[in-house]
Structure 1
Amino acid sequence: MADGISSFWGPVTSTTECCEKNYAHSSYIAELFNTVSNIPTILLALIGLVNALRQRFEKRFSVLHISNMILAIGSMLYHSTLQHEQQQSDETPMIWEMLLYMYILYSPDWHYRTTMPTFLFLYGGVFAIFHSVLRFDIGFKVHYVILCLLCTPRLYKYYIYTNDTAAKRIAKLYVATLVLGTLCWLCDRFLCKEISRWSINPQGHALWHAFTGFNSYFVNTFLMFCRAQQRGWSPKVAHFMGVLPYVKIEKPKSQ
């Protein structure tokens, strides 16, 4: 709840409110739970990055995992300060990340290799400038949802053309964590008055962060599997420490 409390970072200037009391645990961290809940995203993205580099996946996947880390760090900066300037470091990378997903999903069938990345790069830059000046709120959320919906048909196509049971299970985990995380976000956003009267706040926005950390990891892993299939790298789903799925590939010697 952005109630205007002043502390180490000064008055709250963010345009978005969450249902966590400001500076309840520290004068240096505005929203403690919403800040530390980004740590799983960073750790999972780091695991994905190491796997992508170790097996020499295409650079797009390394950039994708790094973008997940940048987004999580930006979210930590925002929730720890509740300053509008830091809000941009959370929301702008969200749009850039979706543009990167669009490139990874649609570029295999795009016949002109330079037009798509050039357009998406310019689009992301223009959005960042306008967002910092005009401070979109509802417009930003609608924009983000539209980009997500544009990715959905292609992701579903990848799913139906994938025969590997383990890979399909990863895609299902992606959907499950997306649904659960969204429900947590909606409850935190629209039921805050009721939740504030509870003896314990379930921290719905923090749960959203945790679920999206796994959500991002699962969708990245599924896309890596699909791309490895396209390249003929004989992908298989293995499990880190017997739990966390990752893609193991065998490249032809010529590659």
Structure 2
Amino acid sequence: MPLLPSIPYPPSKDGYWDPVTSTLNWCEEDYYATIYSAEIVNTLTNLLFMLLGVKGILSCRRNGHDTIFQVAYYGYLLVGTGSFLFHSTLKYPMQLVDELSMIYTTCLMCYASFSYSRSTTYRILLGVSLTSLAIFITLYYHYLQNPVFHQNAYALLTAIVLIRSMYTMEVRLRPSWRLSTEENRRARERQGLPVISKERQHYENVRDLKILKTMWHMVGYGLAVFLGGFAIWNVDNYFCSTIRVWRREIGLPWGILLEGHGWWHLMTGTGAYHYIVWGIWLRHCLNNRQEEYYLRWSHFWSIPEVVQTSIKSTANGSAKKTL
């Protein structure tokens, strides 16, 4: 007798979207819950992508973030929508929408990372190069129909973007990478720029160190969640037959907790969302707008957002935020 009340898994049945034409079929059994969704848990967990994608788009519009990040959120929303349709139907065209939108969104973030403060010519060349790369991956993947190629391409692009963003964050925000206060003053004098006071420079150094610490917490948390989802996904793939037996032994609804690919959606969706928020905050800091925006992230389990804040000058020349 099971320890918890449960109902047995219904048998799989013919589905509305039959036959399966995708090159991948995950560990969740097909059409056991409804004939209208091949993999019901893998389908519904994509609602997180869709909700966070809409939230991100609205946040960009409300807070005046750079357009590239709003486009990235549209890509993020497309990833969730494509995955929703793919797992509902297990059709090859929907598989392409799901997987290739991941490549396109990562290329957008790559453009955001490498185009900052570059000349117009450089940005055009970068945009053409990334577009060409996305087209190549699309055509070659369609030719190969090998998921390993897509997974490796996505992993490589993601690693490049992350490493570049972390390098930029450290070099531009950590005070020890900057000129000393006196060197900075002399450099600004030579350029005919206003010279800030030592007190103001100290304030900015303390401020940026605090921002940098929070950013690293966000990066670490996002990576841990993302890689944790990747690990669960691999366990789900390697031990699928055993996990299917366990699910049927414990019954519904508890068997849902053993749907590893569903956890992959929830965890990678969370990690990817944190990365875009980090990119937005980093861009504002690179633009020296730390006083105009702040990160609203009260707990690790809450949804972060970069929001505008009003500024009031204080007597010592520093800035005070009014939330």
Aligned pair 1:172/2:220, yes or no?
yes
Equivalent residues of 1:233, 1:249 under 8 A apart? no
Shift in Å at residue 122 of structure 1?
2.5
Specify the alignment match of 1:227 in structure 2: 283
Aligned pair 1:97/2:153, yes or no?
no
Q: How far, CA to CA, are the matches of 1:63 and 1:251 in structure 2?
A: 26
Equivalent residues of 2:232, 2:264 under 8 A apart? yes
Which stretch shows the higher mean deviation, 73-82 or 160-169? Answer: 160-169
**From 52, 55, 59, the counterpart of 1:47:** 55
State the superposition RMSD in angstroms. 2.3
**Identity within the alignment, %:** 24
* Gaps in structure 1 of 5+ consecutive residues: none
Which stretch shows the higher mean deviation, 161-170 or 139-148? Answer: 161-170
**From 226, 229, 233, the counterpart of 1:181:** 229
Equivalent residues of 1:18, 1:189 under 8 A apart? yes
- For residues 127-166 of structure 1, the aligned pairs below 5 Å read 127-161=137-171, 162=173, 163=209, 164=211, 165-166=213-214
Which stretch shows the higher mean deviation, 132-141 or 62-71? Answer: 132-141
**From 230, 244, 247, the counterpart of 2:306:** 247
Shift in Å at residue 137 of structure 1?
2.2
SS in 1 for 2:116: helix
Q: Give, as a single letter, the amino acid of the residue that structure 2 aligns with 1:66.
A: Y
SS in 1 for 2:115: helix
Bigger relative contact order (CA 8 A; separation at least 6): 1
Specify the alignment match of 1:36 in structure 2: 44
* Gaps in structure 2 of 5+ consecutive residues: 1-11, 174-208, 250-254, 312-323
SS in 2 for 1:89: helix
Q: Residue deviations 1:87-133, cap 9 Å, x none?
A: 11111111111111211111126441210011112221333233334
Specify the alignment match of 1:193 in structure 2: 241
Shift in Å at residue 13 of structure 1?
1.4
SS in 1 for 2:123: coil
Specify the alignment match of 1:121 in structure 2: 131
Equivalent residues of 1:107, 1:116 under 8 A apart? yes
Q: Residue deviations 1:53-75, cap 9 Å, x none?
A: 11111110100111100110000
Specify the alignment match of 2:205 in structure 1: none
Q: How far, CA to CA, are the matches of 1:247 and 1:158 in structure 2?
A: 19
Shift in Å at residue 217 of structure 1?
1.2
Q: How far, CA to CA, are the matches of 1:204 and 1:110 in structure 2?
A: 42
CA 1:5–1:128 in structure 2 vs 1: closer, same or farther (change >3 Å)?
A: farther
SS in 1 for 2:151: helix
Aligned pair 1:207/2:215, yes or no?
no
Q: Give, as a single letter, the amino acid of the residue that structure 2 aligns with 1:38.
A: N
